[in-house]
Amino acid sequence: MEDITNVAKVPKGSFYNHFGSKEDLLLEVLGRYKAESPRAVLSDQSLSPLKRLKKYFEQFAQTFVERKCQRGCMFGNVAIEMADHSAAVQAYLANTFVGWAELIAGVIAEAQDQGELKTDEDPASLAGFLLSAWQGTLLRVRATRDPKLVKEFQRIAFGVLLI
């Protein structure tokens, strides 16, 4: 907390005027991160459902690669570090991942309804798998610094799984 208050050039006690705890600050940060995600592309009706989904993951991938394959996804990072230590953070992350998967599942169902996808696999299962594969890809790329793994995710997700 001292680092944060030093950078903000405010007294350490000022922190607690705005946040009841460090956990409250983390939940606020997660909420802001969520609000800045490129979710709007998933509802862009000017694109077909499959193109929306591809663009969505391409935007994430582009940002990640531009950052030299560092930092990853804040939700995944915090889940690894904090989900076992804070019930409030774990609940927030669980809710976030469920909502994220539901958004993606809706687009997958739309793509199936429009005949863009041959698979009749359950959209919720596909969405959950995509999120898990994406989070795993981010971890692998951070460990190896090999951005080719992002391309591998995109190739398999959209050239093998979602066809």
CA pair distance 43, 157, nearest whole angstrom: 20
Could you give the count of Cα atoms lying within 13 Å of 80 in the half-sphere of its Cβ?
Answer: 10
Q: What is the pLDDT of residues 30-77, one digit of tens each?
A: 999 999 988 899 999 999 999 999 999 999 999 999 999 998 999 999
CA pair distance 91, 156, nearest whole angstrom: 31
Report in angstroms the alpha-carbon separations of 120 from 16, 43, 132. Answer: 51, 22, 20
Q: What is the pLDDT of residues 105-125, one digit of tens each?
A: 999 999 999 999 999 999 999
Single pTM value for the model: 0.90
Which domains are seen in the chain, by residue range? 1-36 (no CATH), 41-161 (1.10.357.10)
